[in-house]
Amino acid sequence: MKNFKALPTNNTEWGFWGTSIHNDYDAELTWDVTSCFLAEHFELNPEQTRDVLDSRFGRHLADDLSFIKNSPLTTESINKHLTSRINDKGWRGYFEKAIREETGKTYPHKNLITKDELFTKIAHEYLNIETLEERKADSLDFYNVGIWDIKAALAAAFEAGKLQAKKKEA
């Protein structure tokens, strides 16, 4: 996040900072990278970010960094790990709950798109088809579509199916 300056911890014993020290991480690196990450992905100001990291959640998050192969040694490895966590439905909820408890900030949950809405979106985006509703006219119900567009639409549907299956696992 541009122009973001992480504030120093108020919890040197535990929280994220203290746990990073206890786990033999470079506390300054992990603190700065994680602060920036949280600020960017959850739209937190420096005070909110510090409060979240100084909380019990911060302690657990620092412990979770131990799952990074070869430990959290680089900005890239930390960001990659945190990104995988917030892309997981369960972890995302855990982040949002901790942020809500510390800051009062809430995040709206998007309504899931229906199958018909998804098909219509893919048809419009990849095949230039305005609607999938039958209109009882050949000029409106039949299309000339390139094979590459069909392939792209099928790939988009396949990826949407994989994403849906992953969400059900979470």
User: pLDDT tens digits, the chain, 170 residues: what are they?
Assistant: 568 999 999 999 999 999 999 999 999 999 999 999 999 999 999 999 999 999 999 999 999 999 998 878 899 999 999 999 998 888 999 999 999 999 999 988 665 678 888 899 899 989 999 899 999 999 999 999 999 999 999 998 998 888 877 766 65
Question: What is the separation, in whole angstroms, between the first and last Cα of the chain?
Answer: 29
92 & 132 share domain: no
Q: Which of 103, 127, 149 is the last residue of a domain?
A: 103
Nearest to 157 by CA among 165, 86, 84: 165
Evaluate whether residue 130 is within a structural domain: yes
Nearest to 4 by CA among 40, 29, 28: 40
125 & 86 share domain: no
Q: Which of 63, 78, 103 is the last residue of a domain?
A: 103
Q: What is the model's pLDDT at position 170?
A: 55
Yes or no: say if 91 and 107 are a contact pair by the CB < 8 Å rule: no
Q: Which of 81, 103, 125 is the last residue of a domain?
A: 103
134 & 70 share domain: no
Q: What is the model's pLDDT at position 54?
A: 98
Q: What is the model's pLDDT at position 63?
A: 96
pTM score of the predicted model:
0.65
93 & 141 share domain: no
Evaluate whether residue 4 is within a structural domain: no
28 & 99 share domain: yes
147 & 98 share domain: no
89 & 26 share domain: yes
Name residues whose C-beta falls within 8 Å of residue 4's C-beta, 6 or more positions apart in sequence.
Answer: 35, 36, 39, 40, 46
82 & 120 share domain: no
Give SS3 for 87: coil
- Domain residues for the domain of 146 are 115-169
Evaluate whether residue 25 is within a structural domain: yes
How would you class 124 by CB atoms within 10 Å of its CB: exposed for 0-12, middle for 13-18, buried for 19 or more?
Answer: middle
Q: What is the model's pLDDT at position 31?
A: 97
Q: What is the model's pLDDT at position 49?
A: 97
How would you class 58 by CB atoms within 10 Å of its CB: exposed for 0-12, middle for 13-18, buried for 19 or more?
Answer: buried
Q: What is the model's pLDDT at position 78?
A: 96
Q: What is the CA radius of gyration of the chain?
A: 22
Nearest to 149 by CA among 117, 132, 166, 124: 124
Q: What is the model's pLDDT at position 110?
A: 61
Buried b (16+ CB within 10 A) or exposed e, 86-101: bebeebbebbbebbee
Evaluate whether residue 21 is within a structural domain: yes
Q: What are phi and psi of 41, to 5 degrees?
A: -80, -20
| H or E, element range at 149 | helix 147-169
28 & 81 share domain: yes
119 & 139 share domain: yes
91 & 40 share domain: yes
Domain count for the chain: 2
Q: What is the model's pLDDT at position 162?
A: 83
